[in-house]
Chain A
Amino acid sequence: MNTSAILFYAIATLILGAALLAVTSLKIFRSAIWLLFSLVGIAALYFWMQVEFIAAIQIVVYVGGIVVLIIFSIFLTQQSGNKMAKPARPKIIFSALAALLGTAFTFNLINHYGFNTVSAQPFNSSVSEIGTQMLSTTSHGFILPFEVVSMLLLAAMVGCIVIAMKPTSADIVHLNKKED
């Protein structure tokens, strides 16, 4: 047991404990904060695996973006101090049973599948390497999905604004006229 192994198990405990609290906490705001801790733990796991770029993206996008968005929507849609209703006991039992059986089954599969790990080659995940391959137009480049995903983000942004926009009074009059 060296420092790296201890670090890994500490990070794993943080991720799983925070995730468990995030899905069971009855106060929705606390649930969001536990989700935040779990996502920070996942970023720490990426740092531990020495893929610093993905870890940075994880912190920027998830911790800085999605969790903030979720907290905003909690404030916009409900009283954050209120307790949510406890789920029915049979539902808890059957969901836990399904999750536990699935976990046991997958653990068993992973345990018996022999992964032949190759650790001889060094793993180069520097930002320059990622950037070169991301924007290269050769057969192993990712320029096409990169462009497609940028269009997707634009479409999502416009779609969000249209969906969440408050209908103006002119729109409502127009709709009523159409119905008549």
Chain B
Amino acid sequence: MNEIPLTHILFVSTALFFIGMYGLFTRRNLITMLMSIELMLNSVNINFVAFNKYLFPDKLDGLFFSLFIITIAAAEAAVAIAIIINLYRSHQSIDVDDATEMKF
């Protein structure tokens, strides 16, 4: 357990965050962009739990932060999917390039 240093867990979460960022930049479909956001949120959660476990084992604050992040991510995903379904009804497409009414 103690042979893996904290930095290796941080490397994994950093790589996961930037994979999510790459997906957010290249995708044009709203659902796949939402998936990328979920990946980024998860990488942050891994960081919180790892810091809590390795640096402050006498406290539990990191665990609570990740619990609340998971809750808010669930609410965010639900609202985002409601908006996506509404957008699909009015535009017959969920491509971000097709929804340009508010573009200046």
Contacts and interface: CB of A to CB of B under 8 A. Distances in A.
Interface of A: 2, 4-5, 8, 12, 15-16, 19-20, 22-24, 28, 31-32, 35, 38-39, 42, 45-46, 49-51, 53-54, 57-58, 61-62, 65-66, 69-70, 72-74, 76-78, 84-85, 87, 91-92, 94-96, 98-100, 102-103, 106-107, 110-111, 115-119, 121-123, 125, 129-130, 133-134, 142, 145, 149, 152-153, 156-157, 159-161, 163-164, 166
Nearest to A51: B49
Contacts of B45: 42, 54, 58
Interface in B12-38: 12, 14-16, 18-23, 25-29, 31-32, 34-36, 38
A42 B22 contact: no
Contacts of B5: 115, 117
Q: Is the interface of A mostly helix, strand, loop or mixed?
A: helix
A66 B57 CA distance: 30
Interface of B is mostly: helix
A121 B57 CA distance: 6
Chain A CB count within 10 A is highest, among B20, B35, B66, for B35
Interface residues of B, number: 69
Contacts of A130: 60, 63-64
